Chain A
Amino acid sequence: MATVSLKKLTKRYGNMEIVHGIDLEIADREFIALVGPSGCGKSTTLRMIAGLEDISGGTIDIGGRMVNDLPPRSRNISMVFQSYALYPHMTVRENLGFSLKIAGAAKDHMDRRVAEASAILGLDELLERRPSQLSGGQRQRVAMGRAIVRDPDVFLFDEPLSNLDAKLRTQMRTEIKKLHAKVKSTVIYVTHDQVEAMTLADRIVIMRSGHIEQVGTPDEVFSRPAIRFVAGFIGSPPMNLHEATVSDGRLMFSGGDSLPLPGQFKSKTAAGDRVVFGIRPDDFYPTGHGLSSGGETEVHRAELPVSITEPLGNETLVFAEFNGTDWVSRMLNPKPLKAGDRIGMSFDLSRAHLFSAETGKSLRS
Chain B
Amino acid sequence: MDENASARLTRRALTVAHRVGLFLAMLVICLPGIWIVLSSLRPTVEIMAKPPVWIPQQLSVEAYIAMFSGIGKGGIPVLDYFRNSLIISVTSTVIAVAIGMAGGYAFARYRFRGKSGMFLGLMLTRTVPGIALSLPLFFLYVRLGIIDTHIGMILAYVALNVPFTIWLIDGFFRQVPKDLAEAAQIDGCTRWQAFWQVEFPLARPGIASAAIFAFLTCWNEFALASQLTRSVNSKTLPVGLLDYTAEFTIDWRGMCALAVVMIIPALTLTYIVQKHLVDGLTSGAVKG
Please give the residue numbers on chain A whose beta carbons come within 8 Å of chain B beta carbons, in ascending order: 50-52, 71-73, 77-79, 81-89, 98-99, 102-103, 130-134, 136, 139, 146, 150, 163
Q: Interface size (B, Cβ < 8 Å)?
A: 24
Partner of B284, one of A78, A88, A98: A88
Q: Is the CB of B201 within 8 A of A89?
A: yes
Partner of A87, one of B185, B198, B283: B198
Q: Is the CB of A73 within 8 A of B284?
A: no
Interface string of B177-198 (1 = CB under 8 A from A): 1011011111111100100011
With an 8 A cutoff between CB atoms, is B285 at the interface?
Answer: yes
Given A83-B286, A83-B287, A88-B283, the answer on whether A71 and B190 have CB atoms closer than 8 Å is yes
Q: Smallest Cβ distance from B194 to chain A, in angstroms?
A: 9
Task: Name A133's closest neighbour in chain B (CB-CB).
Answer: B284
Q: Which of B241-288 contact A (CB under 8 A)?
A: 281-287
Task: Name B193's closest neighbour in chain A (CB-CB).
Answer: A102
Q: Smallest Cβ distance from B202 to chain A, in angstroms?
A: 6
Mind listing 13 A-B residue pairs with CB under 8 Å?
Answer: A50-B186, A73-B185, A73-B186, A78-B187, A82-B287, A85-B285, A87-B198, A88-B202, A98-B197, A99-B187, A99-B188, A102-B187, A136-B287
Complex interface: chain A residues within 8 A of B187 (CB): 73, 78, 98-99, 102, 146, 150
Q: Smallest Cβ distance from B239 to chain A, in angstroms?
A: 42
**Seed contacts A73-B187, A78-B186, A85-B286; 17 additional CB < 8 Å A-B pairs:** A52-B186, A72-B185, A77-B186, A81-B182, A83-B286, A84-B285, A85-B182, A87-B183, A87-B184, A87-B198, A87-B285, A88-B283, A89-B201, A89-B281, A98-B184, A102-B188, A163-B287
Q: Is the CB of A87 within 8 A of B189?
A: no
Task: Name A132's closest neighbour in chain B (CB-CB).
Answer: B284
Complex interface: chain A residues within 8 A of B186 (CB): 50-52, 72-73, 77-79
Q: Is the CB of B183 within 8 A of A85?
A: yes
Complex interface: chain A residues within 8 A of B190 (CB): 71, 73
Task: Name A162's closest neighbour in chain B (CB-CB).
Answer: B287
Q: Smallest Cβ distance from A163 to chain B, in angstroms?
A: 4
Q: Smallest Cβ distance from B203 to chain A, in angstroms?
A: 11
Task: Name A130's closest neighbour in chain B (CB-CB).
Answer: B284
Q: Is the CB of A86 within 8 A of B284?
A: yes
Complex interface: chain A residues within 8 A of B183 (CB): 79, 81, 85, 87, 146
* Bound CA span A89–B205, Å: 12
Q: Smallest Cβ distance from B205 to chain A, in angstroms?
A: 11
Q: Smallest Cβ distance from A297 to chain B, in angstroms?
A: 51
Task: Name B201's closest neighbour in chain A (CB-CB).
Answer: A89
Given A88-B285, A131-B284, A134-B284, the answer on whether A73 and B188 have CB atoms closer than 8 Å is yes
Partner of B177, one of A78, A83, A98: A83
